[in-house]
Amino acid sequence: MFDKSTIPSQELRALAQGLVDAESPNPPGDVSLPLAVAANYLMENGIPFSRVSVDPENRKVNLVARVFGEHPGPHLVMNAHLDVFPMPESAADSAARHARKLGAPEEQDIIRGRGAVDMKSGAAVFMVIMKLLNQRRREIHGQATLCLVCDEETFGPYGSRALLELYPELAGDALLSTEPSSLSVVRVGERGFMWGTVEFIGKGGHGAYPGGDQSPIEKAAAFIKALREVIPEDWGDVKKEDSPTVSQSLLAPNGKSFVDFPSLNFGTIGGGIKVNMQADRCLLEVDIRLPIGRRIEDFAKIVTGIAVSHGGIYRLDNFGEPNKSDENDRLFGIIKKAVEDVTGNTPSFAVGLGCTDARLWRYRGVPAAVYGPDPSTMAKDDEAMSLSDLVTIASVHFQTACEYLGGNT
C-alpha cells in the first residue's frame, strides 16, 4: 500500500479551503482571487510560474508552473480550473463561508463550498504535488507542468484553449486531471457536447386580440416535444452485452444509459414582455450530449430540421466531439496500479457523462486520465468533500507522477 503520510494532509486541506473561499463564479469568470492564493503558495515553495491571459480586461487569467527534472524524459501535464459554477446568495454555502470569515471553527476533515468538488480541491492536489516533485528534482526524468486555468465552466476561449493555441508544447506527452470521477473510476474519455440556441419569432400585439400566427412560446413548446421524441429522457436499461466496459453508472441514476446514448437538457427559456401582450420572441438554449461514435454534425442537422419545421432558427454556439484515450497507453497502466496501491481496489476505466478540458488534450492525441472526487454534490448548494478522499486522490496522482517521471519506460 502507498504511504499516504507523504501527503501533507493539513497543508492540503488549508490550501483547498483557501481556494474554495476565494470566489470565482463563471460568469463572469474572474479568477483573480483564487489565482492569488495559488501564486502565493507556489512562490512560498520556490516553484516558478507565469501568468497567461488573452482577456482584454485581464480578469480571466491562467497560471502555468513548471518543475524540471535533472534527467531527460517525458512531459507530464496536470490541469485544473479555478472558475466555478455560479451560486445563489441564499445558498447554504454563502452562510458557511461567511461564518468562516467571522472566525467560526474550521471543519478539519471537510472541504466545503462551491468548487470543493469541481474542482478547486483538485487544483490544490496538483499544487502540493508540484511542491513534492520540486523537492525531488534530482530523481525526475523529464518535466511536470501545472496549468491552472480559467473559463472551463463555459468552455470559453480564455482558458485551456488559449494556452494550447499559444503554447502547443503544453500538450505534453500525457495529461492528469482531478475533475470528479469517484475513487473507484479513472475516466478515459467523455461524451461530446453541443450547446445551441433556438430562436422563434412572432408578430407580437395585444393579448386580448389574438392573431392568426402561433405564439413563439407555443412554437418553442412544440419544438421541445418534438426534439424529446427524437432524444427521449429514458432510454431504458442497456443490455450488459451491448454496454462497453467504459460505461459509467456512478454519475446519474441511469448513468449507463446516458453514457451509451445521447441525452438532452433544456437549460434556459425566455420570451415575451408582459402577461397581456403577445410574445414576439422566444429563445431556448439546448444542451445535447453524445456518446462515443456519434458526430456533432449529424445531430446539428437533426436539431436544425426540427427547429425549421416549427418556425425556429437553430444556432450551434459551442461544441466538442466525443473523445476517448487508448486504455493501453502507459499512463493508464501506471494510474491503475496507483489506485490499487493506494485504495486496495482495482479501478474501472470509464467514459464520463460530463465534459472537461481533458478533451482538448485527447483531440491532440495526448492520453488524458481523469481521477478525482465523487461527483454527487457537484454544483449543488452543499458541495463538499472529505479530507480523507482528497488525500487519497493526491496520493494516487503523486504516485502516478513519480512513476511516469521516474525514468522507467
Comparing C-alpha atoms, which of 42, 48, 34, 143 is closest to residue 83? 34
Query: What three-state secondary structure class fits 356?
Result: coil
Could you report the per-residue pLDDT of 192-217, keeping only the tens digit for each?
Answer: 999 999 999 998 888 898 777 889 99
| Count of C-beta atoms within a 10 Å radius of residue 136 | 15
313 pLDDT higher than 70 = yes
Cα distance between the two ends of the chain: 22
Pair 353, 247: CB distance under 8 Å:
no
For the chain, domain boundaries: 4-190+322-404, 192-320
Assign 126 a pLDDT band (cuts: 50, 70, 90). very high
Mean pLDDT value across the chain: 90
Check whether 141 has a pLDDT greater than 60.
yes
CATH topology of domain 192-320: Alpha-Beta Plaits (3.30.70)
pLDDT for residue 397 is more than 60: yes
Percent of the chain at pLDDT > 70 equals 88
The beta-strand segments (E) located in 202-341 are 205-206, 263-271, 277-278, 281-290, 312-320, 323-324
pLDDT over threshold 60, residue 241 = no
**pLDDT tens digits, residue range 26-41?**
999 999 999 999 999 9
Q: Does the structure show a pLDDT above 70 at 246? A: no
pLDDT at residue 286, rounded to an integer: 98
Confidence of residue 403 (pLDDT cuts 50, 70, 90): very high
Dihedral pair phi/psi, residue 312, rounded to 5°: -115, 170
- Please give the grid coordinates belonging to residue 201: 419569432
In this predicted structure, what is the pLDDT of residue 380? Answer: 85
Query: In sequence order, which residues have a C-beta less than 8 Å from that of residue 127 and are 6 or more positions away?
Result: 15, 38, 41, 42, 146, 148
Q: Is the pLDDT of residue 234 over 70?
A: no
| Confidence (pLDDT) at 108 | 74
Among 7-21, 242-256, 314-328, 386-400, name the one with the lowest average pLDDT: 242-256
* Exposure string over 179-201, b if 16+ CB within 10 A, otherwise e: bbbbbebbbbbbbbbbbbbbbbe
The SS3 assignment for 68 reads strand
Cell numbers found for residue 282: 422566444
* Superfamily of domain covering 4-190+322-404: Zn peptidases (3.40.630.10)
Alpha carbon distances (Å) from 72 to 45, 84, 135, 241, 298 = 23, 36, 17, 45, 45
Segment 354-379 shows an average pLDDT of: 95
| Dist CA 16 CA 114 (whole Å) | 11
CB-based contact 216:271 (threshold 8 Å): yes
Rounded distance between C-alpha atoms, residue 317 and residue 366, angstroms: 26
pLDDT above 90 covers a percentage of the chain that reads 78
Q: What would the pLDDT profile of 158-183 be if each residue is shown by its tens digit? A: 999 999 999 999 999 999 999 999 99
Spatial contact of 29 and 151, defined as CB atoms under 8 Å apart:
yes
Residue 250, pLDDT > 60, answer: no
Q: Is 0.85 topped by the overall pTM?
A: yes
- pLDDT tens-place string over residues 63-118: 999 999 999 999 999 999 999 999 766 555 566 555 555 445 566 799 999 999 99
Return d(Cα 256, Cα 390) in angstroms, integer: 26
> Would you state the cell numbers that stand for residue 129, as one nine-digit string?
504535488
Residue 1, exposed/middle/buried by CB under 10 A (0-12, 13-18, 19+)? exposed
